[in-house]
Amino acid sequence: MRILITGGAGFIGSHLCDYFIARGDEVIALDNFITGSPDNIVHLKNHPRFHFIRQDVSDYIRVEGYIDAILHFASPASPVSYIAYPIQTLKVGALGTHKALGLAKAKGARFLLASTSEVYGEPLVHPQREDYWGNVNPNGPRSVYDEAKRFAEAMTMAYHRAHNVDTRIVRIFNTYGPRNALDDGRVVPNLIGQAIRGEPLTVHGDGAQTRSFCYVSDLVEGIARLLASNETLPCNIGNPNELSIRTFAEKINALTQNPAGIVYRPRPVDDPSRRCPDISKARRLLNWEPRVGLEEGLAKTIAYFADRMKRK
């Protein structure tokens, strides 16, 4: 296949590039490096089946030749980045999705949208199933990301219904692993970075809020299976094993042998109290569930960050 990945130099996008290259496909990655990094794809630079285009996908996208599939992963995705780039986040969710869908329509390509568990907002249903409509604050600081993704889902379904574009929507839950940016504000790199430096781990609120963490290789496998499926409605991909942030921080301190403990700070505005996917749909339709255990995934991620920090 010949596959276009927007946001191809990002955390998840770069792992998707690796996956499809390893499978034998040709990959074209688009990125403007607002939050993506050239370091994430430098190992692919001279690969004969990898091509890179530096571009803002909110502008017109021109790609020569046929395309079999477009995976739209371009967007700031962490609280630090989408609060720093609120207009760009809204533009890539709206204009970028429009441009990518237009290219899929013109090329007759299958289209997969990277959506997010943030479309569920502060959930009133637990765990979150795909048929839950969500409880989102449309005016809060996180709304630039939440509503951009909700709009992107609506536009994707509109192109599917009005133009018969072959579409997929993946709702991604908390994902971690190598190539997470240390300074992007997400809980895993934040806590691991502090632990490696021997600092107290910052937990917001009392730490009772929950998350579930999926290792990136499991996520990528789920995305590939969804792309190959016939499911056009949203599908959750994530790890259903839920734990509190306090427990998670304690586990990181134990794995890194960090004696500095935990400090507690006020919770950010609209920080969800619970976040856990119902993955029964992915199990049923894709025969998928996560395989990498938390301790195994954290060990790999800690080793990656320790090496990165040592080299800096």
Which CATH number do you get for residue 196?
A: 3.90.25.10
Residue 83 lies in a domain: yes
On whether both 14 and 116 belong to a single domain, the answer is yes
Residue 44 lies in a domain: yes
On whether both 7 and 134 belong to a single domain, the answer is yes
Mean model confidence pLDDT for the chain: 95
Name residues whose C-beta falls within 8 Å of residue 188's C-beta, 6 or more positions apart in sequence. 174, 176, 180, 213, 301
Residue 181 lies in a domain: no
Which CATH number do you get for residue 124?
A: 3.40.50.720
Residue 9 lies in a domain: yes
DSSP conformation class of 60: P
On whether both 220 and 298 belong to a single domain, the answer is no
Q: How many domains does the chain have?
A: 2
Residue 182 lies in a domain: no
CB-based contact 20:27 (threshold 8 Å): yes
pLDDT, residue 295, reads 94
Q: What is the pLDDT along the chain (312 residues), one digit of tens a residue?
A: 999 999 999 999 999 999 999 999 999 999 999 999 999 999 999 999 999 999 999 998 999 999 999 999 999 998 889 999 999 999 999 999 999 999 999 999 999 999 999 999 999 999 999 999 999 999 999 999 999 999 999 999 999 999 999 999 999 999 999 999 887 778 899 999 999 999 999 999 999 999 999 999 999 999 999 999 999 999 999 999 999 999 999 999 999 999 999 999 998 887 888 899 999 999 999 999 999 999 999 999 999 999 988 876
> Which tens digit of pLDDT belongs to each residue from 182-209?
877 788 999 999 999 999 999 999 999 9
What does the DSSP assignment read for 163-215? H---EEEEEE--EE-TT--TTS--HHHHHHHHHHTTPPEEEETTS--EEE-EE
Which positions are annotated as active-site residues?
Answer: 145
Q: Phi and psi for 159 in degrees, rounded to 5?
A: -65, -35
On whether both 131 and 225 belong to a single domain, the answer is yes
Dist. CA 197–CA 258, nearest whole Å: 9
Which domain range does residue 258 map to? 187-209+242-275+293-311
On whether both 20 and 82 belong to a single domain, the answer is yes
On whether both 159 and 250 belong to a single domain, the answer is no
DSSP conformation class of 135: B
Give me the helix-helix angle, 245-256 and 187-196, nearest 10°: 30
> Which tens digit of pLDDT belongs to each residue from 57-66?
999 899 999 9
On whether both 195 and 149 belong to a single domain, the answer is no
CA dist 207 to 103, 250, 264, 266, 298, Å? 44, 11, 8, 10, 19
